[in-house]
Amino acid sequence: MANSSSTDVKVLGAWPSPFVIRVRIALNIKSVKYEFLEETLGSKSQLLLQSNPVYKKIPVLIHGGKPISESLIIVQYIDEVWSSGPSFLPSDPYDRAIERFWAAYVDDKIFPSMKLINTAQGEEKAAIVEQVTEGLVLLEEAFQKSSKGKAFFGGDRIGFLDIAFGSMLGWLRAIEKMGGVKLLDEAKTPGLVQWAESFCADGAVKGIIPDTEKLVEFAKILVKMKGAPLGKN
Amino acid sequence: MGKSDIKLIGSWASAFTTRVRIAFNIKNVEYEHLEEVLGKKSDLLLQSNPVHKKFPVLLHDGKPLPESLIIVQYIDEVWSSGPSILPADPLDRALERFWAAYVDEKFFPSLKLVRVTQGEQLAAAVEAVGKSFEVMDGAFHQCSKGNAFFGGERVGYLDIAFGCTLAWLRALEKIVGVKLFDEVKHPALAKWMDSFCSDPAVEGLIPETDRFIEFLKLLPGAPPRH
Measure the CA angle with vertex A124, ends A226 and A109; round to 5°.
70
- Distance from C-alpha of B48 to C-alpha of B50, rounded to nearest angstrom: 6
Q: Which pairs from A44-49 meet CB under 8 Å and 24+ separation?
A: A45/A12, A47/A12, A48/A12
**Min CA distance, A225 vs chain B (Å)?**
26
Choose the mutation target among A51, A71, A100, A145 for the interface with B, i.e. most B CBs under 10 Å: A100
**Min CA distance, A174 vs chain B (Å)?**
27
Q: What mean pLDDT comes out for the span A96-101?
A: 98
- Distance from C-alpha of B68 to C-alpha of B23, rounded to nearest angstrom: 10
Contact criterion met (CB < 8 Å) for B97 and A73: yes
**Min CA distance, A34 vs chain B (Å)?**
18
Share of chain A above pLDDT 70, in %: 94
Share of chain B above pLDDT 70, in %: 98
Contact criterion met (CB < 8 Å) for A80 and B93: yes
**Closest residue by Cα to residue B8 from B72, B51, B52:** B72
Q: What is the pLDDT of residues B57-74, one digit of tens each?
A: 999 999 999 999 999 999
- For residue B94, the chain A residues in CB contact (below 8 A) are 68, 73-74, 76-77
Q: Omega of the bond prior to A16 within 30 degrees of 0, cis?
A: no
Q: Would you state the pLDDT for residue B172?
A: 98
Question: How many CB atoms sit inside 10 A of residue A217's CB?
Answer: 14
Q: Would you state the pLDDT for residue A225?
A: 82
- Distance from C-alpha of A88 to C-alpha of A28, rounded to nearest angstrom: 12
Interface subset of B 54-83, CB within 8 angstroms of A? 60, 63, 65-67, 70-71, 73-74, 77-78
- For residue A67, the chain B residues in CB contact (below 8 A) are none
Q: Would you state the pLDDT for residue A232?
A: 44
Q: Which pairs from A182-189 meet CB under 8 Å and 24+ separation?
A: A183/A114, A183/A129, A183/A132, A183/A133, A183/A136, A184/A136, A188/A133, A188/A136, A188/A137, A188/A140, A189/A136, A189/A137, A189/A139, A189/A140
Question: How many CB atoms sit inside 10 A of residue B194's CB?
Answer: 11
Helix (H, G, I), strand (E, B) or coil at A66: strand
Name the band, by pLDDT with cuts 50, 70 and 90, for residue B112: very high
Contact criterion met (CB < 8 Å) for B101 and A76: no
- Distance from C-alpha of A177 to C-alpha of B77, rounded to nearest angstrom: 42
Choose the mutation target among B69, B80, B86, B91 for the interface with A, i.e. most A CBs under 10 Å: B91
Q: What mean pLDDT comes out for the span B11-35?
A: 97
> What's the pTM?
0.95
Q: Which residues contact B105 (CB under 8 A, 6 or more apart)?
A: none
Helix (H, G, I), strand (E, B) or coil at B11: coil
Q: Number of residue pairs across A and B with CB atoms under 8 Å?
A: 54
**Closest residue by Cα to residue A84 from A179, A187, A1:** A1
Question: How many CB atoms sit inside 10 A of residue A151's CB?
Answer: 19
Q: How crowded is the C-beta side of A11, counted as CA atoms within 13 Å?
A: 25
Q: In what order do the strands lie in the sheet with B57-60?
A: B32-35, B6-10, B57-60, B63-66
Q: Would you state the pLDDT for residue A228?
A: 53
- Distance from C-alpha of A226 to C-alpha of B62, rounded to nearest angstrom: 48
Q: What is the pLDDT of residues A15-63, one digit of tens each?
A: 999 999 999 999 999 999 999 999 998 899 999 999 999 999 999 999 9
> What backbone phi and psi angles, to 5 degrees, belong to A18?
-65, -25
Q: Angle of helix A93-105 relative to helix A122-147, nearest 10 degrees?
A: 170
Bridge partners, B40 (sequence order): B37
ipTM value for the complex = 0.95
